[in-house]
Structure 1
Amino acid sequence: MAVLVGKRAPSFKAIAVLGGEFEPDFSLDRYLGKKHVIFYFYPADFTSLCLTEILAFQERLADFEAKGVAIVGCSTDTHFSHYTWLQTPREQGGIQGVTYPLVADTTKTIAANYDVLGGHYDYNDAGEMTFIGSPLSYRGLFLIDKDGIVRHQVVNDGPLGRSVNEALRLVDALQHYEQHGEESPADWEAGKNALRSTSSASNYLDKHTAR
């Protein structure tokens, strides 16, 4: 598993579905210098656990937007699959009403570059290249700052859903550090006391982060 923290988030251009429309050259670069980004991967459209996460982010979208954070989802499904799921009412297992972008990683290169693609290529006994495992993404989540640097990442296996509250807590922690230079101790939440940063590891990382 690649550790992308402290490195520039891998760039890409792909088709996304946003506001009921296809965007052929969607890129996270649109947020550079403007917003923090929560970029998350989910395994597949029309699956029950993925549905809960996608809707959970939508339900808290206003909270993220108030903090200047964009939410972007991604799976290896096609943009047609995304669109169909977005048009399906929630009472029928759909995600109608989701307003943030869903990226279609049909080539699986985005998931591979973020190192969240399950399975791997190998050769069989006949010398033919085959894919071993399931070519779906794990539940990866990346918090990217305004400079395009990954500041937090977490990757769950397929059966393990993520916490939107924890994603918000990490946003608060990062923004508090950016604004006040104070570090967040264990289980820190906004409004609680933080630690004044001196010559700690965080200062070292700031100086040596790929900008």
Structure 2
Amino acid sequence: MALVGKKAPHFTAGAVINGEEIVENFSLDQYIGKKHVILFFYPKDFTFVCPTEIHAFQEKLAGFEKRNTVVIGCSTDTEETHLAWLNTSKDHGGIQGVTFPIIADAAKVISMNFGVLGGEYAYNNDTKTWSFNGVPIAFRGTFLIDKEGIVRHESINDFPLGRNIDEYLRLLDAQLHVEQYGEVCPANWEEGEAAMKATNEGVAEYFSKN
């Protein structure tokens, strides 16, 4: 079920912040009323596509911060595994130098609540046992959450499909424009281009100029 237009699921979990410090009770609540959030899920530490995405977010981090937005990663690995990966150099497949928070979802409940877990649990009443169907790691889910904690965008990629980080900056610009001006953003809109009023007259005016 889509989360767009709804409150982002609440959670409290362990995380690594500033690339070096483990904290026990990390929550999105600290950003309510203060910052927008880009929360992205990735499958596993010490893999292949994942470090390319994480480094790409880090390279664009100043752009997100300029837009009063925090970037947060999450996978089903533990805090200790995150920290080990953060202490591994880039040329050895690590993510050393990454400074944004990375959440540990070892219990997999955050991924489940955000709808990105790559499978589901099933209970067999006959054998009284649980099983898991699928892959017990997160898909590449990305969520734009506004300052009120409302999800404004979500996208989910399969495991082999890396993200385009610039697209999230574009979507963030669009969300900020909507919030500031009350206009809607047409296809392929980018910051600095004309948006339009959500009326028939607004659509007609937009097409007359484009």
Q: Give, in whole Å, the separation in 2 of the partners of 1:110 and 1:123.
A: 20
Q: Give, in whole Å, the separation in 2 of the partners of 1:146 and 1:162.
A: 23
Gaps of 5+ in 2: 201-210
- Residue equivalent to 2:208: none
- Residue equivalent to 1:67: 67
Structure 2 residue 4 is matched with structure 1 residue 5? yes
Q: Give, in whole Å, the separation in 2 of the partners of 1:113 and 1:120.
A: 12
Structure 2 residue 163 is matched with structure 1 residue 137? no
Matches within 5 A, 1:176-191: 176-191=177-192
Query: What letter is aligned with 2:176?
Result: Q
- Which runs of at least 4 in structure 1 moved beyond 6 Å after TM superposition? none
Q: Give, in whole Å, the separation in 2 of the partners of 1:198 and 1:69.
A: 30
The CA deviation at 1:122 is 2.2
Matches within 5 A, 1:93-172: 93-123=93-123, 126-172=127-173
How high is the TM-score relative to the length of structure 2?
0.91
The CA deviation at 1:128 is 2.3
Query: What letter is aligned with 2:61?
Result: L
Query: What letter is aligned with 1:13?
Result: T
Structure 2 residue 78 is matched with structure 1 residue 89? no
Q: Which has the larger radius of gyration?
A: 2
- Residue equivalent to 2:43: 43
Query: What letter is aligned with 1:7?
Result: K
The CA deviation at 1:198 is 4.4
Query: What letter is aligned with 1:25?
Result: N
The CA deviation at 1:96 is 0.3
Q: Deviations over 1:86-144 (max 9, x none)?
A: 00011111100000000000000000000110111224674522112210001100000
Secondary structure, counterpart of 2:40 in structure 1 = strand
Secondary structure, counterpart of 1:84 in structure 2 = helix
How high is the TM-score relative to the length of structure 1?
0.91
Query: What letter is aligned with 2:174?
Result: A
User: How many correspondences in the alignment?
Assistant: 199
Gaps of 5+ in 1: 200-211
